[in-house]
């Protein structure tokens, strides 16, 4: 055996700055993870801080992270199934950007967007589906083609593959080599990550490889597919991370009011995004009292070290 076997294994641990700067360029197509759960707020904020422009961002169901990125002026196109503030209302920055023709839309449904990623993940140029044949959605997706099933002769939609340049996701834990473990609600996060050419992951904690091997079923992305891992506890705030902290519903509700008003929103983006230099500052801004509350309101799934 190579005497340096263990030490010669490559680490994927990176600073957030370099993880973003090295993998995301102006014009990149970016999949952002998190379906209600484990939304990569803090790492996506770094894209705003680095002011990388002309981005296309995509996912099935998108929440206020999309709103923030649109408001920051770095997004030229969205590929989506839903953009809103779940349980609260509209995405006001999205609404305004559409009204003012400031953004290109490629509008799908949640399932069709997931199927686009699924085809990408499987290396297929398209996947058939029964959806998008009636109603106004099919008229809207102008380039979608139909095919005839060669066995049943029925018409189907040929949902084209989507292969994002980079996926940015958040998860519970990873080892230094980049084996990523996530549990709780996934939605289309893994689908989108596996569809993408590069994968950047922020995690609540870095653990030893031996911890990963205790529950290999929980590993959702293998090390060799991961470009960079960044330890960012609280990186999914104001969304939540199962077994770590709960969702700050109030933050989402207040964001509705803030995002209706350009001045308030500018202030919010400065305060919560542009002026933040570290995850420690982000935590300070959330405040010790709230951090405690959210930790105590965790979702209740058992962690593997409890």
Partner 1 sequence: MMNDCKILSQNARIAVLAARDLQDEKSCFVGIGIPSDAACLAKLSHAPNLSLIYESGVIGTLPHSPAMSTGSPSIAHNSDMITDSFTVFGELQAGRIDIGLLSAAQVDTFGNLNSTVIGPYENPKIRMVGSGGAHDIACLVPELIILMPHDSRRFVNDVDFITSPGANKEFNETRLKNKLGSGPVSLITDRARFYMSKDGWKLDAPLAGYSYDEATEDLPWDVGKGINNSITISDDLFNAIRYLPYLESKN
Regarding 205 and contact with partner 1 (CB under 8 A), the answer is: no
CB closer to partner 1 out of 52 and 207: 207
Regarding 134 and contact with partner 1 (CB under 8 A), the answer is: yes
* Cβ at position 163, least distance to a second copy in Å: 13
Q: Which residues, listed in sequence order, are joined to residue 142 by a DSSP beta bridge?
A: none
CB closer to partner 1 out of 99 and 277: 99
CB closer to partner 1 out of 134 and 288: 134
Cβ proximity of 66 and 239 under 8 Å: no
Regarding 179 and contact with partner 1 (CB under 8 A), the answer is: yes
Residue length, the chain? 306
Q: How far apart are CA 156 and CA 172, in angstroms?
A: 38
> Which residues are CB-neighbours of 41 under 8 A, at least 6 positions away?
65, 170, 235, 236, 237, 238, 239
Query: Would you list the DSSP string of 33-97?
Result: --BSBS--HHHHHHHHHTT--SEEEEEEEE-HHHHHHHHTT-EEEEEEEEEEETTTEE-HHHHHH
Among 46, 67, 191, 231, binds partner 1 (CB under 8 A): 191
Cβ proximity of 265 and 256 under 8 Å: no
Which of 233, 263, 260 lies closest to 245, judged by CA? 233
Cis link prior to 44 (omega < 30° from 0)? no
Regarding 242 and contact with partner 1 (CB under 8 A), the answer is: yes
Which of a second copy, partner 1, none binds 155 (CB below 5-8 Å, type-dependent)?
partner 1
* Cβ at position 118, least distance to partner 1 in Å: 6
Instruction: State the residues that interact with a second copy by CB under 8 A.
Output: 123-130, 145-147, 149-152, 154, 156, 158, 160, 183-184, 214-218, 301-302, 304
Q: Which residues, listed in sequence order, are joined to residue 32 by a DSSP beta bridge?
A: 168
Among 235, 246, 258, 273, binds partner 1 (CB under 8 A): 246
Q: How far apart are CA 64 and CA 256, in angstroms?
A: 9
Phi-psi sector, 169: left (phi>0), alpha (psi -120 to 50), beta: beta
User: Using CB under 8 A, which residues numbered 52 to 111 contact partner 1?
Assistant: 60-61, 63, 80-84, 86-88, 90-91, 94-95, 98-99, 107-111
Which of partner 1, a second copy, none binds 145 (CB below 5-8 Å, type-dependent)?
a second copy
Which of partner 1, a second copy, none binds 107 (CB below 5-8 Å, type-dependent)?
partner 1
Regarding 184 and contact with partner 1 (CB under 8 A), the answer is: yes
CB closer to partner 1 out of 124 and 285: 124
User: Using CB under 8 A, which residues numbered 207 to 226 contact partner 1?
Assistant: 209, 212-213, 216-217, 219-220, 222-225
Question: C-alpha distances in angstroms, 71 versus 53, 55, 74, 260, 264?
Answer: 12, 13, 8, 11, 12
Regarding 8 and contact with partner 1 (CB under 8 A), the answer is: yes
* Cβ at position 144, least distance to partner 1 in Å: 13
CB closer to a second copy out of 16 and 79: 79
Q: Which residues, listed in sequence order, are joined to residue 26 by a DSSP beta bridge?
A: none
Regarding 235 and contact with partner 1 (CB under 8 A), the answer is: no
């Amino acid at each position: 055996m190579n005497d340096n076997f263990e030490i010669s294994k490559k680490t994927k641990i990176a600073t957030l700055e370099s993880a973003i700067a090295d993998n995301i360029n102006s014009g990149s197509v970016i999949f952002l993870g998190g379906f209600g759960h484990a939304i990569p707020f803090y790492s996506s904020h770094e894209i705003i801080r680095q002011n990388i422009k002309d981005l296309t961002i995509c996912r099935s169901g998108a929440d206020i992270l999309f709103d923030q990125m649109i408001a920051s002026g770095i997004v030229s196109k969205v590929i989506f199934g839903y953009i809103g503030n779940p349980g609260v209302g509209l995405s006001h920055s999205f609404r305004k950007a559409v009204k003012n023709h400031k953004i290109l839309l490629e509008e799908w449904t949640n399932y069709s967007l997931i199927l686009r990623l699924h085809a990408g993940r499987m290396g297929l140029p398209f996947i058939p589906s029964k959806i998008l044949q009636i109603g106004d959605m099919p008229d809207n997706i102008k380039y979608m083609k139909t095919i005839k099933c060669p066995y049943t002769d029925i018409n189907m939609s040929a949902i084209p593959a989507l292969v994002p340049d980079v996926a940015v996701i958040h998860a519970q834990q990873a080892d230094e080599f980049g084996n990523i473990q996530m549990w709780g609600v996934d939605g289309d996060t893994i689908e989108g990550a596996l569809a993408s050419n590069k994968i950047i992951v922020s995690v609540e904690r870095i653990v030893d490889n031996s911890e990963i091997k205790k529950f290999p079923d929980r590993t959702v992305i293998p090390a060799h597919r991961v470009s960079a891992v960044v330890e960012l506890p609280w990186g999914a705030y104001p969304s939540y991370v199962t077994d770590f902290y709960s969702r700050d519903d109030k933050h989402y509700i207040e964001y509705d009011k803030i995002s209706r008003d350009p001045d308030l929103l500018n202030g919010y983006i400065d305060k919560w995004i542009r002026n933040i230099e570290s995850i420690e500052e982000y935590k300070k801004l959330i405040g010790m009292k709230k951090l405690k509350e959210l930790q105590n309101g965790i979702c209740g799934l058992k962690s593997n070290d409890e």
